[in-house]
Amino acid sequence: MASPVLVPYGSFVQVDRQSETPVYLQVAHQLIVAIQRGYLPDGHKLPGTRRLGNLLGLHRNTVVASYAELEAQGCIEIHPNQGTFVRNGYIPRPEKPKSRSNQLLTGYPQDTGFFFKKWNVLDSPFVHSPARLHLDDGLPDPRLSHVDYLTRLLRTNMKRRGNQSKLGYGNLHGNEYYKENLANFLNVTRGLRVSKGNILVTRSLELGIYLVAETLISPGDRVVVGELGYFATNMILQKAGAVIETVPVDAEGLDVPAIRTLCERRPFRMLYLTPHHHYPTTVTLSIQRRSELLELSAEYGFIILEDDYDYDFHYDDSPQLPLVSADAQGNVVYVGTFGRSLAPGFRSGFVVAPKTLIDEMGKLLGIIDRYGDVLTELALGELIADGEIHRYLKKATKQYKERRDHLACLLVEQLGNYIDFVVPNGGLAFWTTWPSDLNLMQIARDCAKRELDLPQYLLYQSKKLAGIRLGFGSLTPDELTEMVGILASALRHCERSVR
């Protein structure tokens, strides 16, 4: 039996006096780990409480409390006049990995001891920046959100006795009251003809796309997207095993003749598009191309995954109805976000499709998100039923239009000689093209020095293209003025460095 004196207790028992965990529990927990890993084998005699206290620099009473905890957990046995012995039935492994033999046991392992799959396609493009101003790809301004009104709705719904029974395991497809009102909202604003049975409620747009991809995509399936497209959707589709193919995007949206060529060459499984405001270029898919895509889908049998992106934000005229409103074959799956103009915590994703598909996707949603968000759904249902969402959107859209017009003037005044853009008729972002010989990453680094975060996912650069997507919704007019000024200064600095 190993002598207690020869065991280096100080190497695997270290006390952090700044920790909120009591010292006696720190000692007990680390001794348990040592026992589990075979450093203290079954039958090993531990030092007396006074001696271990001296070895660890602790008071004897602390060690007494640690031993009491170990005994309570069945890790040791204390025999009066004989000593304290490890008794947990642990059988040590024949050999310990040499690379870890001297590893301290005081911290949590930095890596697993087993292999696991790494999703390289899901590496997040979002990086926190300490900059004072932040650019994004077209997010609404939470400061304009209807927070007070929604807070009252949440409080009211929490107090209603009739709602208490709804806070448990409810309908896995979403709250019935909310779905009924959401169906009415979509029918009025998008020209749909759906009922609540055609709707699956999710916590976000991306979760809806994930459910669609996991249900409809098999490894190796070909999915067609725009040559410049929404990175998050591409990541989700690739995670499901899709092979991504791209087609050009011009001033009228996706190149439909190119899609027809792909159909004739080899059929594909799905087409993903954002027809109202294509991401990132903001162009609207023309009416003619919408009809042609529906005809191609019916002829070749591919799925159209239509993203409702930015549909609620239109400024100069009425928006074109989505493809799903004219779908007679059941080939269009429609995904979107209700309440995109609201604060993120009050939004809700949705999927619209034939009921047979909704039921199937509901099985997966019921496993990964069994509870849903009943309180928020009830509040959003009332927001629609009361007509408040229409009043709020009208007010918010007016403010976003003012910001759009303000940014357009700033870009002309300060960057008009360098960049090209078309003022978008909706959405919350501009698509700007820059001289192809400029290094956009260098401009972003220079902006960072001036307290403006220009994240990499907004930059699109190749040998033929230099483009930046500039979101304006989340910035006030004064912030937009400052932002464009910084961009102009960074551009001039970049030009001088090139010369």
Strand arrangement, sheet containing 348-352: 199-202, 348-352, 332-338, 303-307, 270-273, 222-226, 243-247
Task: Judge whether residue 173 has pLDDT over 80.
Answer: no
Is 158:375 a contact under the CB 8 Å cutoff? yes
Q: What is the pLDDT of residue 497?
A: 67
Pick from 223, 277, 222: which is nearest to 253 by CA?
A: 277
Return the CATH number at 317.
3.40.640.10
- As beta bridge partners, residue 249 has 254
**Listed range (71-75, 134-138, 411-415) with the worst mean pLDDT:** 71-75
> In the block, which residue shows the tokens 């065991």?
7
**Listed range (23-27, 109-113, 146-150) with the worst mean pLDDT:** 146-150
Calpha distance 304→319 (Å, rounded): 20
Q: Would you say residue 164 lies in a domain? A: yes
Determine the structural domain holding residue 61 and report its residue range: 4-100
Of 390, 422, 440, the residue that ends a domain is 390
Q: Are residues 325 and 276 in the same domain?
A: yes
Of 375, 390, 405, the residue that ends a domain is 390
Q: Would you say residue 107 lies in a domain? A: no
Calpha distance 139→237 (Å, rounded): 23
pLDDT digit string, tens, across residues 424-450? 999 999 999 999 889 999 999 999 999
Of 370, 390, 410, the residue that ends a domain is 390
Q: Are residues 462 and 378 in the same domain?
A: no
Q: Would you say residue 424 lies in a domain? A: yes
Please provide the average confidence, as pLDDT, over all residues in the chain.
Answer: 88
Q: Are residues 251 and 362 in the same domain?
A: yes
pLDDT category, 42, cuts 50, 70, 90? Answer: confident
Number of domains composing the chain: 3
Full-model pTM? 0.80
Q: Are residues 373 and 443 in the same domain?
A: no
pLDDT digit string, tens, across residues 459-469? 999 888 999 99
Q: What percent of the chain has pLDDT over 70?
A: 91
Q: Are residues 160 and 283 in the same domain?
A: yes
Q: Are residues 321 and 367 in the same domain?
A: yes
Q: Would you say residue 111 lies in a domain? A: no
Return the CATH number at 60.
1.10.10.10
Name the E strands within 227-323.
243-247, 249-250, 253-254, 270-273, 303-307
User: Between 154 and 270, where is the model more confident?
Assistant: 270
In sequence order, the 6+-apart residues with CB closer than 8 A to the CB of 34 are 12, 13, 40, 105
Q: Would you say residue 86 lies in a domain? A: yes
Q: Are residues 411 and 384 in the same domain?
A: no
Phi/psi at 134 (5° precision): -130, 130
Q: Would you say residue 298 lies in a domain? A: yes
Calpha distance 91→442 (Å, rounded): 59
- Average pLDDT on 165-176 reads 60
Q: What angle do CA 154, 157, 162 make, to 5 degrees?
A: 165
Asked whether the CA dihedral 51, 57, 62, 66 is positive or negative, the reply is negative
Name the E strands within 409-453.
420-421, 429-433, 452-453
Return the CATH number at 416.
3.90.1150.10
Q: Are residues 385 and 419 in the same domain?
A: no
What is the full DSSP assignment across 351-407?
EE--HHHHHHHHHHHHHH-SS--HHHHHHHHHHHHTTHHHHHHHHHHHHHHHHHHHH
Q: Are residues 234 and 310 in the same domain?
A: yes
5-19, 25-39, 118-132, 384-398: range with highest mean pLDDT: 384-398
10-19, 35-44, 208-217: range with highest mean pLDDT: 208-217
Q: What is the pLDDT of residue 66?
A: 92
Q: Which tokens is 452 given?
A: 């403006």
Q: Would you say residue 119 lies in a domain? A: no
Q: Would you say residue 363 lies in a domain? A: yes
- Average pLDDT on 247-262 reads 96
Q: What is the pLDDT of residue 347?
A: 87
Calpha distance 202→124 (Å, rounded): 21
Q: Are residues 376 and 425 in the same domain?
A: no
Task: Judge whether residue 477 has pLDDT over 90.
Answer: yes
Q: Are residues 364 and 451 in the same domain?
A: no
Q: What is the pLDDT of residue 290?
A: 96
Task: Judge whether residue 239 has pLDDT over 90.
Answer: yes
- Average pLDDT on 315-337 reads 92
pLDDT digit string, tens, across residues 345-367? 788 999 999 999 999 999 999 99
Q: Are residues 368 and 435 in the same domain?
A: no
